[in-house]
Amino acid sequence: MKICVAGQGAFGIKHLEAISKIEGIEVVSLTGGNPAGTEEVAKRFGIPHWTGNLAESLAQPGVEAAILTTPTQMHADQAEQCMRAGKHVMVEIPMADNLADSERLVRVQKETGVVAMAGHTRRFNPSHQWIRKRILAGELKIQSMDVQTFFFRRTNMNAAGKPRSWTDHLLWHHACHTVDLFQYQTGETAHRANALEGPHHPELKIAMDMSVQLKIPSGAICTLALSFNNKGPLGTFFRYICDNGTYIARYDELVDGDQKPIDVSNVDVSMNGIELQDREFFAAIKEGREPNASVAQCLPAMQTLDRLEKSMQGNP
């Protein structure tokens, strides 16, 4: 399968590294916003064509699908561009930075019939898969999820420490991971959603700290703290407080409440959540089916984020 990737930054590189471990997939074009950086990454991964124009990548001979790891503000329009061109698309989280654009992508997917998937990696991390399998087997029931998403990011820098051309967002990007995961793991959509934000950064014009509360009809709650002001351990830590145990997940690793490691090496074919996410995308294309984390499946998370945004504006 020939594909193209858009985005030469930190997450584009993560996907290219993951794809290199998947047989039968050839990246034939790379689209990037920085010409020198795009050429450098393309040569590093042996990609024969690179450009600053997504349409040019999509038009390369034999291209069937695209993976978008571009700035958040470009996600919705570029995902629609791919679908309208008849290409399957995976758009990195979030699929959009507002509900209207998210709903638009779901409509376009239905119109075009292509595979359209959002990059909700937490669904694929072996740690969270281990929890989900026990929930589905009736061995665990979530009582509470307590989650911390902490970064130190007071300038526009990416995960690799390089300058980026856009501003990240705690609600529409980072909270999206947890909102979707909570609703996915419990199988319910939050009927109560509340959020508070701290002061806005004078230059970035975004809230640097945020608190989110969710509750589902059956009673479980989720408490999420987010910060770009944190100086210390970085990343996201998920604490599952269940009726039959407590578990703490960090990306692809899992420990119990006593910090005893849990072996998740046999949960799936890889320990890399991004690789597993990409494998699901390609498998759905080959099998002609809806993928886990399709844009339609992820829409409830975007609807909840919209409610959270309104609650911060004093319009619950």
16 neighbors 45 (Cβ within 8 angstroms): yes
Q: Are residues 115 and 159 in the same domain?
A: no
DSSP 152: B
Instruction: Give the list of residues 6+ apart from residue 167 with CB closer than 8 angstroms, or none.
Output: 156, 204, 205, 206
Q: Which two tokens stand for residue 146?
A: 């307590």
3-class DSSP state of 16: helix
Q: How far apart are CA 201 and CA 291, in angstroms?
A: 38
Residue 12 lies in a domain: yes
In a domain, 296, yes or no: no
pLDDT score, position 206: 84
For the whole model, what pTM was predicted?
A: 0.94
Do 45 and 82 form a contact (C-beta atoms < 8 A)? no
The pLDDT value recorded for residue 157 is 64
Q: Which DSSP category does 127 fall into? A: H
Q: Which residues of the chain have pLDDT under 50?
A: 316
Confidence (pLDDT) at 299: 98
Q: Could you tell me if residue 194 is inside a domain?
A: yes
The reply to whether 108 and 11 lie within a common domain is yes
- Claim to verify: residue 22 and residue 46 sit in the same structural domain: yes
Same domain flag for 79 and 158: no
CB atoms within 10 A of CB 296: 16
CATH number at residue 211: 3.30.360.10
The answer on 66 and 108 residing in a single domain is: yes
111: containing domain: 2-121+274-290
Q: How many other C-beta atoms lie within 10 A of the C-beta of residue 243?
A: 9
| Strand bridging mode 88-92 / 116-119 | parallel
Q: Could you tell me which of 192, 185, 186, 182 has the C-alpha nearest to residue 215?
A: 192
Kindly state whether residues 167 and 305 are assigned to the same domain.
yes
Residue 281 lies in a domain: yes
Per the domain annotation, does 130 fall within a domain? yes
Do 68 and 145 lie in one domain? The reply is no
pLDDT confidence of residue 316: 46
Give yes or no: residues 93 and 159 share one domain: no
Q: Are 80 and 103 in contact (CB under 8 A)?
A: no
Torsion, CA 272, CA 274, CA 279, CA 281, rounded to 10:
160
Residue at 160 is within a domain: yes
Structural domains in the chain (count): 2
- Is residue 132 domain-shared with residue 65, that is, in the same domain? no
Question: Are 260 and 134 part of one and the same domain?
Answer: yes
Residues 280 and 207 in one domain: no
Q: Are residues 55 and 172 in the same domain?
A: no
Q: In what order do the strands lie in the sheet with 235-242?
A: 192-197, 209-215, 221-227, 142-150, 235-242, 245-250, 253-256
**Residue 156 belongs to some domain of the structure:** yes
Angle at 205 between CA 204 and CA 206, to 5 degrees: 90
| Amino acid identity, position 133 | K
Residue 150 lies in a domain: yes
CATH of the domain at 29: 3.40.50.720
